[in-house]
Amino acid sequence: MNDDLRDPLLPPSRGPLSAAVTARLRGAGPLPHPADAAAADPYGDDLQLALYLCYELHYRGFAGVPPELEWDPELLRVRAALEERFRSALRADTPVHDSLDEALAALLVEPAEGTGVSHFLSAEGELWQLREYAAVRSLYHLKEADPHAWVLPRLRGRAKAAMAAVEYDEFGGGRAERVHAHLFAELMRDLDLDTTYGRYLDAAPAEMLAVVNLMSLSGLHRELRGALVGHFAEVEITSSPGSRRLAEAMRRTGAGPAAEFFYDEHVTADAVHEQVVRHEVIGGLLEEEPELAPDIAFGIDATEYLEERLGRRLLASWRAGRTCLRTPLALRGSSPSPQAPLEQQLSHTS
């Protein structure tokens, strides 16, 4: 097991908010005023990167950044302003089901004619698109299950026991070589990708940063424990059929045995997890705190909303024959045009 243990490097900024946060992490320059966050695009590159940088201090941190900045009061004040802008936008924009039962029922129905990313990759995706997908998803999968672990001390009884059981599986059931983050690193090696933690942060679009930021936001706030459980339910309930399609895509393109195994493993594991999460984690939480039902529904629906935004971004780029990344990968096999779209070139230089 040779997972990269180096601390990730700070990425280039994407605007004034992320530039100011980056400067603070490097020990120079003032932080942005909270009012600057209130005026920013809540889903844009600048705010999402600034928020991601603040959250990452609670994970692996960054090379050269003092660990004590994790609890720097001024940085936390800015983070709170960034969070408020993001949370307010999600509350306003997310189509929320009328009840938790309706939100869960929607997850259990697979449309006859699927149009999402996994459907596209299974039916017609090329190897270069699978590589890009893995690079984008590495922002989460190289720390898979870590954001969800924060909810454990916030739960009680059945919900805590069931959540811990699912997390135990995610972390390899006591075997380091079975930790899901390690299995994803093996998938990346099959695809000739760099397995360094955080390596593709600069390449990933804002839509992916928002997906990961929702997990961190929900995990770090006790008041959002219901939303994190809802997020986790959405991930586990929808994972098995999507993973089956992605495993088929890996086999069809000859991606490699580790690439196939990662998704085959999730087909099996998440089919079990789905039942445990629905009946024991959610059921146990509602038994203890029934008033959290709307928050669980919001976590499900907000996750769906952000995943759909990401899916639209990826598919629009791929169907146009161009990279979905801000910085294209080194080429392998068939490839998109090496010229990134103009808006990506401009955003990369901001």
**pLDDT 10s digits, 302-339:** 999 999 999 999 999 999 999 999 999 976 555 564 44
Alpha-carbon span 274 to 233, nearest angstrom: 7
Average pLDDT (239-267) is 94
Q: What is the pLDDT of residue 59?
A: 97
Alpha-carbon span 309 to 210, nearest angstrom: 10
Average pLDDT (224-237) is 95
Q: Which residue has the higher pLDDT, 331 or 217?
A: 217
**pLDDT 10s digits, 79-124:** 999 999 999 999 999 999 999 999 999 988 877 677 899 999 999 9
Q: Do 234 and 304 touch, CB atoms closer than 8 A?
A: yes
| pLDDT(342) > 50 | no
| pLDDT(269) > 80 | no
Q: Which residue has the higher pLDDT, 54 or 266?
A: 54
At 110, which amino acid appears? Answer: E
Q: Which residue has the higher pLDDT, 138 or 334?
A: 138
Report DSSP letters for 298-313, one per residue. HHHHHHHHHHHHHHHH
- pLDDT confidence band for 4 (50 / 70 / 90): low
Alpha-carbon span 33 to 7, nearest angstrom: 28
**In Å, how far from its chain's centre is CA 332?**
25
| pLDDT(346) > 90 | no
Average pLDDT (207-232) is 98
Q: What is the pLDDT of residue 340?
A: 43
